[in-house]
Structure 1
Amino acid sequence: MGNFSERRHHYDNGNRSVDWIVVMQHAVLLIEVKSTRPTDPIRLGSTAMWETLSTKLRKAYSQIEKANRNVSDRHPAFAEIPHDLPRLGLIVTMESFAFVNTPEVQSRLDTESTIPTLVCASQEVELLVTLRSTPINRFLLDFMTDSEKEVFDLSNELTAQPVDAFCRNEVMDAAWDSYDWGL
Structure 2
Amino acid sequence: MTEASRKLGEELGKAYGQIERSADLIRRRAPGFQYLPTDRPMHGLVLTMEPFELANSPLMQPRLLPNGTFTSVVSAWELEWLVCMEPVSQMLSEREADPQLRTYSLRSIFRTQNATSNRVLDEAW
Q: Same fold (TM over 0.5)?
A: yes
The Cα of 1:161 is off from its aligned counterpart by: 2.0
> What RMSD in Å do the two structures reach over aligned CA positions?
2.2
- TM-score (ref. length: structure 1): 0.60
- TM-score (ref. length: structure 2): 0.85
Percentage identity across paired residues of the two chains: 29
Match of 2:72 in 1: 118
Report which of the two structures shows the higher radius of gyration computed on alpha carbons: 1
User: Which structure is higher in helix share?
Assistant: 2
When the two structures are aligned, how many residues end up with a matched partner?
124
Match of 1:161 in 2: 112
Unaligned runs of 5+ in 2: none
Runs of 4+ in 1 over 4 A off after TM superposition: 172-175
Which secondary structure state, in structure 1, belongs to the residue aligned with residue 44 of structure 2?
strand
CA distance in 2, matches of 1:83, 1:138: 17
The Cα of 1:88 is off from its aligned counterpart by: 0.9
The one-character-per-residue Cα deviations of 1:35-75 (angstroms, maximum 9, x if unpaired) are: xxxxxxxxxxx721222112221221111000111111221
CA contact (8 A) 1:93 1:120 kept: yes
**Letter paired with 2:79:** V
Which secondary structure state, in structure 2, belongs to the residue aligned with residue 90 of structure 1?
strand
CA distance in 1, matches of 2:26, 2:117: 34
In structure 2, the CA distance between the partners of 1:110 and 1:150, relative to structure 1 (3 Å rule), is same
Q: 1:136 aligns with which of 79, 85, 88?
A: 88
CA distance in 1, matches of 2:91, 2:64: 28
CA distance in 2, matches of 1:126, 1:117: 17
Match of 1:99 in 2: 54
